[in-house]
Structure 1
Amino acid sequence: MKIIDKINSHEPSKAFYSFEYFPPKTDEGLTNLYDRLKRMSFLNPLFASFTWGAGGSTIDRTTDMCATAQTLYGFESCMHLTCTNVVRTTIEKALEEAKSAGIQNILALRGDPPRGQEYWTSCDDDFTHAIDLVRFIRKEYGDYFCIGVAGYPEGYPDSDDKNQDLKYLKEKVDAGAEFVITQLFYNVDTFVEWEKECRKIGIKVPIIPGIMPIQGYHSFRRITNLCKMNIPSEILDALEPIKHDDQAVKDYGVSLAVSIISKLFNEHNVRGFHLCTMNLEKSVRLVLEKLKFVPTEEERNLRRRSRRRSSVGFVSNDIIRQEPDGSLPTVKPVIWKEQSEDYLGRSEDWDNFPNGRWGDARSPAFGELDGYGVSLRIPPEQALEYWQRPTTLDELKQVFKSYILGDIPALPWYEEPLFAETEAIRSKLVRLNELGYLTVSSQPAVNGAKSEDPIYGWGPKGGYVYQKAFVEFFVSLENLEKLIKKITGNPWITYYALNRNGDFKTNIKEEAPSAVTWGVFPGKEIVQPTIIEQVSFKAWKDEAYALWTEWEHLYPKNSPTQKLLNDIGNNWWLINLVHHNYVDPEGIWDIFFNDDVNNE
């Protein structure tokens, strides 16, 4: 069914809401997302949208998710579709597969140009803007698809002319778009004024505000910085004293989302809301419960017990009853929407504190999603200013050292300065880069810091947190072989190493996840938000090497800098090394600094 038809038939006085999901990076994550979708189906969203990776990189997974959610779990699916860096045949394939799967809703987006390329041109001259995609869908499929487009209450991130942005939105609607989903925002007044301007210029289609409950402080700051959102000072002030308390941040995120939606619903007559789930479940459910849009867990349990007492015989008889002409009746599939655990018996919040690429790779929320896919997260002119034009290995080492020392605020792998905890190992990382180990990730050992600690703390108050030291870096094959020889037989050291071609080395005989960060809190199970395992390392490897290529794109082909970056990307190895004796903070560094393993 088309989203616009569902909106038009919805009771005008009642709220409706929709969910947004992204394709998980691993097969295990996808399997667990389907369990999550099954549980979230009882929340009865009007529809669910599924994002599309840059350049069509997730075309198969996105279409499969849309079809599965619609067929098995009763969601009305909306498939995101972008035309940036996508050839015409990819768009045609996606639309044809969507139609074949019974998907009638498309969110047509331009997508963002790869931020690692100084000059961007579209792959297909027919598709340079979202309006081209809207026109193409209407031309090829008539009114089969219901088309949605994006709106930007704070203006398009790369545009300085908000009035022109509104005109472009009006053109997309005139070309056939039937609803608008907005970019995320946290200032209600900004949305309200922008919506008024939309109506003034004749945009009459439904406008659905995008709402994202804050799931974690660092992910929130990262997303809002990438999207260039204006965050009200009162929100930043509220987050500052609790930013190390993950549970407190999530609780505040729920309260803030409830406040925003309540104000829009009660004071400004907004009836629809698009919730960005980040593939997590609990915060979204709590928001809807607090708004009284859905029953609470206790109310659902009461209804479930009541139905079980009264409906078993009726369901059984209904299934076997025949129609008067002898045919079997038409019935809807039974979906056990009340299940609160997945097939492994884990609760909805088993992965409630995702930790980027070093979280649990089985989590649907593993990794981080943004609008750009694998690309540099800063504008090319800034990147060139930060990283200059290194032409030798020594000059490249200096770029990495400058980041460690805080002289530049970003590397291709991280667009934000290092965390405060890095101060404890800053001098070690500088020495490591001087020796030719180009570091991209690390953490110091921590043995029982209080969870309120301003540097190492996280999670609820009253607990203690622990960390194993680890370091990840790019290294030449020669130095890798020396390093492996050095650590052979050391029971405290484990490693994974991969090169761009997928050649793999490890000293781990029996594969199992290794928790490198964990916390002990009153009345809770031990929480392990940071896990290093083979599946997550391999998933990250592809992205890590793709960023070398994006860095190359800043420079002319065959220039000395481009050749240097290409050579390292093609020939050096990525290694993650963990020291498991967390009571020995110096143990991990001894293997680098105490003998000739460092000699180049």
Structure 2
Amino acid sequence: MSSTDTAGNPTDCRGQLPAVKNGKIIDMVNAWTAATDQPFISFEYFPPKTPEGVVKLHKVIDEMCKQKPLFVDFTWGAGGSSADLTLELSKTSQQKHNVMVNMHLTCTNQSKEVCDAGLAGAKEAGICNIVALRGDPPKGQDKWEVTEGGFACALDLVKYMRTNYGDYFSIQVAGYPEGHPDRITKAGGEWSVVSEMSRPLSDREKMRLVDVDGERMTGFCKTRIPPAMAKRVAELSGDDKKAEFAEYGIDYLTDLCKQLVASKLVPGLHFYALNQSERTFQILKRLGYYAPTD
């Protein structure tokens, strides 16, 4: 529910939010939850394909950081295709936008040397938060393949990081509720992003997440679509229904966010912004989490 000040201007209904010291995300989350029962928010971006896109993205990040996200993420292209740009965006954003960065690192379809270069570069740049992922296959491939001498899965990468970098990095992992997120956290992953939510969790999935060691939050982006949603989406197909389609999606995700916050299973909400602010801001406004800026 949105709230307003005495002049009728919208305000963040979460009230006065804690000022958390920048550092490892696991420590920041613990400090946040110790100070408030309100959810934090965070955003995720991907490396643009053009220099113009990079300039535009920094403007978007600057705008979205006014909403005081606890941190922001940058994805890592399949097979290390965006390695240099991901590292540069992470480094620049942490310095320019004064926000903690959670840099993604995928481990399949690339050599250990590429992963090591990413980890070493992150450490040199003062980036201490890494999302360790298996990764998607490169464009044009139907499935991912293990590179000779490389890693077979994110679990291998987490073990490698702990062995070779000790506790320098706070390691985040993907915790798919349909899968088994406990194994990777026990190997050294400290924080699980319960990825790609498009529906409320079942009781079985809730129990599975409660049994997982470490903190967790929920991310919102594409995933398998529930039948009822698929039916409604089909009904809203066509150029003449674009506005109605967008409205449906915003309402659906707003309601899902409310259910998750009410469940107390997650301390924060993570939004895959797709390098744009509009849709995320619309959801934040309906949740009452949007803080107007000058």
TM-score tier (shorter): 0.7 to 0.9
Q: Does 1:18 align with 2:42?
A: yes
Number of the residue aligned with 1:259: 255
Query: Is the Cα contact below 8 Å between 2:131 and 2:172 reproduced in 1?
Result: yes
Aligned residues of 2:218 and 2:268 also touching (Cα < 8 A): yes
Report the CA distance shift for 1:117/1:246 in structure 2 as closer, same or farther (over 3 A): closer
Q: What is the match of residue 211 of structure 1?
A: 220
Partner in structure 2 of residue 93 of structure 1: 117
Conserved 8 A contact 2:79-2:137? no
Aligned: 1:127 with 2:122: no
**Counterpart selection for 1:275 from 264, 268, 271:** 271
Equivalent of residue 208 in structure 2, options 197, 222, 232: 197
Cα–Cα, structure 1 residues 56 and 126, in superposed 2: closer, same or farther, change >3 Å?
closer
CA contact (8 A) 1:50 1:65 kept: yes
SS in 1 for 2:275: coil
1:516-535 → structure 2 map (5 Å cutoff): none
Aligned positions of 1:134-173 closer than 5 A: 134-153=158-177, 155=178, 165-166=179-180, 169-173=181-185
The answer to whether the Cα contact below 8 Å between 2:197 and 2:219 also exists between their aligned partners in 1 is yes
Relative distance call for 1:42 and 1:115 in structure 2 (3 A) is closer
Higher relative contact order (CA 8 A, sep 6+): 2
Q: How far off is 1:133 after superposition?
A: 0.6
**Separation in 1 of the partners of 2:213 and 2:159?**
19
1:240 equivalent in alignment to 2:234: yes
Q: Within 2, Cα distance between the matches of 1:2 and 1:60?
A: 22
Which residue of 2 is the match for residue 2 of structure 1?
Answer: 24
Superposed displacement of residue 112, structure 1? 3.0
Per-residue deviation, residues 125-176 of structure 1 (Å, max 9, x unmatched):
34111111101111111111000111222x3xxxxxxxxx41xx32211111
| Runs of 5+ consecutive residues of structure 1 not aligned to the other structure | 156-164, 213-222, 301-337, 339-600
CA shift for structure 1 position 26: 1.1
- Higher Cα Rg, which structure: 1
Structure 1 counterpart SS, 2:270: strand
Distance 2:163 2:37 in 1: 36
* Distance in 1, Cα, partners of 2:198 & 2:273: 16
Q: In the aligned structure 2, how far is the partner of 1:14 from the partner of 1:140?
A: 36
Alignment of 1:497-576 (within 5 A): none
Residues 210, 273 of structure 1: 8 Å contact kept: yes
Q: Contact 1:126 / 1:132 at 8 angstroms: preserved in 2?
A: no
Work out whether 1:174 is the aligned partner of 2:198: no
The number of residues matched between the two structures is: 268
Counterpart of 2:201 in 1: which secondary structure? helix
Cα deviation, 1:302-335, whole Å, max 9, x if unaligned, reads xxxxxxxxxxxxxxxxxxxxxxxxxxxxxxxxxx
Q: Is the 8 A contact 1:43 1:285 kept in 2?
A: no
Given that residues 2 and 104 in structure 1 are in contact (C-alpha distance below 8 angstroms), is that contact kept between their aligned partners in structure 2?
yes
2:124 is aligned with what amino acid?
S
TM-superposed CA distance for 1:68, in Å, is: 1.4
- 1:293 Cα shift? 1.7
Q: TM-score, normalised by structure 1?
A: 0.43
* 1:117, distance to aligned residue in structure 2 (A): 5.3
Per-residue CA deviation, residues 396-423 of structure 1 (Å, 9 max, x unaligned), is: xxxxxxxxxxxxxxxxxxxxxxxxxxxx
Distance 1:9 1:57, change over 3 A: same
Unaligned runs of 5+ in 2: 1-22
Tell me the CA shift for residue 274 of structure 1.
1.1
Q: 2 CA distance for matches of 1:182 and 1:242?
A: 28
Once residues 21 and 115 of structure 1 are traced to their aligned partners in structure 2, the CA distance between those partners, rounded to angstroms, is 19
Give the whole-Å Cα distance in 1 for the aligned partners of 2:257 and 2:110: 36
Question: Identity across aligned pairs (percent)?
Answer: 34
SS across alignment from 2:174: strand
Partner of 1:231: 226
**Which amino acid counterpart does residue 18 of structure 1 have in structure 2?**
S
RMSD (CA atoms): 2.0
